[in-house]
Amino acid sequence: MVTIHTFHPSHPSHPAPKGMRSMKIVVVCGAGASSTFVAVKLRNAAAARALKIQVAAGSASQLDSLAGVDVVLVGAHLEAAVPGLRARAAGTGTAVAVLPPVSPAALDGGAALDLALDAQAEAR
C-alpha cells in the first residue's frame, strides 16, 4: 500500500540517518519545468543535511518506470493523477507524496525533503 502525504509546514527537520543508503526521489509536474526548480531545492536541502539523495525531475508523462525510485513527489496541480501513480507504485515500495500548492520559487526545500523522507519511512 502506498500512502499519499500532504505538506505539513510545522514538521521538524530530519537529521541525517547514519548508514543511510542513497535515496532516489523523482519530482513530477505537468511539463517538467517546475519540477526542475523543486529538484534543485531538494538537492540543496539534502546537501545541507549531508544526505545521500539523487533527485530527478520531469513530467508525469515521462515517468516510465518506478524501478529504483524511493519517492515520487507530485506537483499539487497534478493531484488528480495521484491515484494512477499510487496504483503503479503498489507493491514496488515507492512512496507517492503531493507537494504543497505553492510556486516552486516559494517552496521550502527542507520542508519538501521532510515530506519525501516521511513518505519513504511510512512506505516501509
What's the pLDDT tens digit per position in 23-68?
A: 999 999 888 788 999 999 999 999 999 999 999 998 888 888 898 9
SS3 state of residue 104: coil
Q: What is the dihedral of CA 22, 23, 28, 32, to 10 degrees?
A: -10
Distance between CA 121 and CA 124 in Å, rounded? 6
Q: What is the per-residue pLDDT for 42?
A: 97
Residues 119/97, Cβ–Cβ less than 8 Å: yes
Q: What is the per-residue pLDDT for 22?
A: 86
Distance between CA 11 and CA 35 in Å, rounded? 22
Give 99: exposed, middle or buried? Use CB within 10 Å, 0-12, 13-18, 19+.
buried
For each of the domains in the chain, give its residue range(s) and CATH number, in order of start: 21-123 (3.40.50.2300)
